[in-house]
Amino acid sequence: MVHALTLNAGSSSLKFGLFELGDGRGDPTPRILGEIDRIGSQPHMRATREDGSVLSDAPLPAEDAADHAGALARALDLIARERPHAQLRAVGHRVVHGGPEHAAPARLTPEVLADLATLEPLAPLHQPHNLAGVRAALAAFPDAVQVACFDTAFHRHHPWVNDTFALPRAYYDKGVRRYGFHGLSYDYISGRLAEIAPHLHSGRVIVAHLGNGASMCGMIGGRSIASTMGFSALDGLPMGTRSGQLDPGVVLYLMEQEGMSVAEISDLLYRKSGLLGLSGLSNDMRRLEEADTDAAREAIAYFVFRIRRELGALAAALGGLDALVFCGGIGENSVLIRHKVCEGMGWIGLELDDARNARGETLVSTDLSRVRVLVIPTDEEIVIARAARDMLGRVG
């Protein structure tokens, strides 16, 4: 039976998925979903079957997963034990940055891989790890069709005013642009909306992807018009440990007055800020909701305030609003955050139904609300699996 493997390689983690492709026409069926984290230090593998039953939840010997190639080998061992007859004909990779050119998934050839390596300076914390995963899989499966799926691709057709900064134009030409990220999630939500509510999909929609990483995207007709993330995955909303939007003057101040190095500022903005920095407690929304401290409440208040501000800004960019979609770990699960974001939004025609919200239904707005509010669990893995299936269909 023909299968596709999906891989999402982070700095010290490797998420993997095994999908059955059937006749190549229907949606890929997930069979195994797993993750190895703490690669290189104390690796641990978790994996489940499609029915949620646990296949693995155990530490691995450090030397067995010392790098991404080792981790991939361990994931493949597990897949071979569980599905010995799976033919792996396609591999789909999540790659954070596709640069200005890639508006669709790309087949991974040595030339494309070399081109993607030149984008490493644009996403130094993610791209090198993504490409380490690609190299490991190219070595393990030299005959499989391999495809890169970019977080930036979904936004590549947004208008120029949402693509540029007001810097001298030479910087735009060098690639200093508002790329936007979380594209696989937005792609999934756009497709799902087309299935369950086509009249909304064709309209003006804001999707709030609220997880450890968080961003919002304004779409018309299922295509990105504007998003809160820009040149890097730091911009826009505050996140678990990332600052979100920041006056660039703050960075100049940190350099000039505090004498901080690039590495120190990067560490501050990516790892010590956001909900963690504001609360002094945790980057985890569940813990903040449970915590009874003023700082935790203020961290939540700031998170909500920035979402509401961006909601207004994106609605203006779209020329109005027909639907708001929540997704991501917080967007899908937090009754409190959805409530706070939607509170008092009658001015834009949005009214949350608190009972539906508490039950976590798909439609959580009232019947009278002109703006529909939906909760749609996102699925980035299936987007990668579909791209692998499509590429295999074209070239395999």
Q: Which residues are annotated as catalytic? A: 151
- Give the H/E segment covering residue 167: none
Pairing of strands 323-327, 106-107: unpaired
Is 212 assigned to a binding site? yes
Phi, psi of 159 (to 5 degrees): -65, 155
CB of 229 to ligand ADP, least distance (A): 13
Other Cβ atoms closer than 10 A to 386: 22
Is 50 assigned to a binding site? no
Q: Which two tokens stand for residue 181?
A: 């990220």
Dist CA 289 CA 227 (whole Å): 27
Nearer to ligand ADP, 190 or 378 (CB): 378
Is 92 assigned to a binding site? no
Nearer to ligand ADP, 83 or 339 (CB): 339
Tell me how far CA of residue 215 lies from CA of 102, 142, 206, 238, 247, in angstroms: 21, 36, 10, 9, 18
Nearer to ligand ADP, 307 or 321 (CB): 307
Residues that bind ligand ADP (CB under 6 A): 211-213, 240, 284-286, 289, 328-330, 333-334
Is 260 assigned to a binding site? no
Is 182 assigned to a binding site? no
CB of 304 to ligand ADP, least distance (A): 13
CB of 117 to ligand ADP, least distance (A): 25
Nearer to ligand ADP, 43 or 211 (CB): 211
Is 8 assigned to a binding site? yes
Dist CA 131 CA 128 (whole Å): 5
- If we measure between CA atoms, which residue out of 278, 202, 258, 265 comes closest to residue 234? 265
- Give the H/E segment covering residue 212: none
Burial string for 1-22 (b: 16+ CB within 10 Å, else e) reads ebbbbbbbbbebbbbbbbbbbe
Q: Is 181 exposed, middle or buried (0-12, 13-18, 19+ CB in 10 A)?
A: buried
Nearer to ligand ADP, 90 or 307 (CB): 307
CB of 323 to ligand ADP, least distance (A): 20
CB of 396 to ligand ADP, least distance (A): 30
Annotation: binding site: 8, 15, 94, 209-213, 284-286, 329-333, 380
Annotation: binding site for Mg(2+): 8, 380
Annotation: binding site for ATP: 15, 209-213, 284-286, 329-333
